[in-house]
């Protein structure tokens, strides 16, 4: 596949800006749109082209990637006024937002009717993975469409797996978020226990960070917790959105997930306290007051 595909990227937030930057650096003509235009300035300075509307961007792109905030935002860019589907022409439509599986299926159905190819491809790895092009990308859609877009995915991630048909990528991402929710609770409680009992959390980290408890959340977010760094790599409010989707999907299958339900309640409390724009590691303050 030619590396000259024109790629449109909608949603240049903490992760999207890095992901789009890798595509531009690889030589792809990059078209960009973001509700806050200033967030595209750095990419435009490097050669990306700004578009004033989603529809115009879609009409001028071979591949359209969306990385927006909520399912309602996904619904708007694909089905609202001046949407992607109305203007895209035989394009590949890749939604990398963590969104609902049913919406992913709806987009895929409508895309096929219009001669386009849709993939749902949520990611895991946060801002660090996005910056280093080391994201895990969970894809739902047709095998042929996945194969065609694999070189694009590999510019942004190091672990790219087709999970099944439309919506399967979103379901796989729910598995990811369920595991992370429980893990962050465990890291917060373990380090909170250490602090409350008078242990030095940093020396505790030296031990458990190299043992069976080790993992991405402990090593990366645990280190931030103990120094009081709650800057967002992934916003609490976005994580809470994901937990809500996962819990809703579980309930549809009459599946009881008590740790997920508890995590959702804890993060709802944090949002109520004004922590929605903090990183997910702010859960630590539930056990130990912020530094």
Catalytic residue annotation: 173
DSSP for residue 82: T
State the Cα–Cα distance between residues 97 and 226, nearest whole angstrom.
30
Cα torsion 161, 238, 56, 24: sign: negative
Q: What is the DSSP string of 222-277?
A: IHHHHTT----SSBHHHHHHHHHHHHHHHHHTT---HHHHHHHHHHHHHHHTT-TT
**Strand 123-124 to 135-140 pairing:** antiparallel
Could you report how far apart the first and last alpha carbons of the chain are, in Å? 52
Q: DSSP 3-state assignment of 124?
A: strand
Closest of 242, 234, 249, 252 to residue 99, by C-alpha: 242
Round to whole Å and give the CA distance between 9 and 17. Answer: 9
Which spans in 132-257 are helix H?
A: 143-153, 168-196, 201-208, 216, 223-226, 236-252
How far apart, in whole angstroms, are the C-alpha atoms of residue 289 and residue 291? 6
């Amino acid at each position: 596949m030619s590396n000259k595909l024109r790629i449109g990227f909608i949603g240049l937030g903490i992760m999207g800006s890095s992901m789009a930057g890798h595509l531009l650096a690889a030589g792809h003509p990059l078209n960009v749109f973001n509700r806050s235009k200033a967030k595209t300035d750095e990419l435009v300075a490097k050669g990306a082209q700004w578009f004033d509307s989603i529809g115009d961007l879609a009409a001028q792109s071979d591949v359209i990637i969306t990385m927006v905030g909520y399912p309602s935002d996904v619904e708007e860019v694909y089905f609202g006024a001046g949407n992607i589907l109305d203007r895209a022409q035989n394009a590949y439509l890749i939604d990398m937002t963590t969104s609902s599986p049913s919406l992913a299926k709806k987009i895929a159905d409508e895309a096929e009717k219009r001669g386009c190819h849709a993939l749902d491809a949520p990611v895991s790895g946060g801002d660090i993975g996005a910056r280093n092009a080391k994201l895990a990308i969970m894809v739902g859609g047709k095998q042929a469409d996945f194969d065609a877009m694999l070189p694009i995915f590999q510019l942004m991630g190091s672990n790219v797996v087709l999970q099944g048909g439309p919506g399967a990528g979103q379901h796989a991402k729910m598995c990811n978020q369920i595991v992370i929710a429980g893990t962050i609770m465990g890291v917060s409680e373990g380090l909170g226990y250490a602090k409350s009992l008078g242990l030095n959390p940093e020396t505790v980290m030296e031990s458990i960070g190299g043992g069976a408890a080790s993992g991405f959340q402990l090593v990366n977010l645990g280190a931030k917790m103990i120094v009081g760094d709650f800057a967002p790599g992934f916003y609490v409010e976005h994580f809470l959105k994901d937990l809500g989707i996962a819990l809703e999907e579980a309930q549809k299958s009459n599946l009881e997930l008590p740790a997920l339900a508890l995590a959702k309640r804890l993060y709802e409390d944090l949002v109520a306290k004004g922590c929605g724009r903090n990183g997910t590691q702010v859960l630590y303050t539930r056990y130990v007051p912020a530094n």
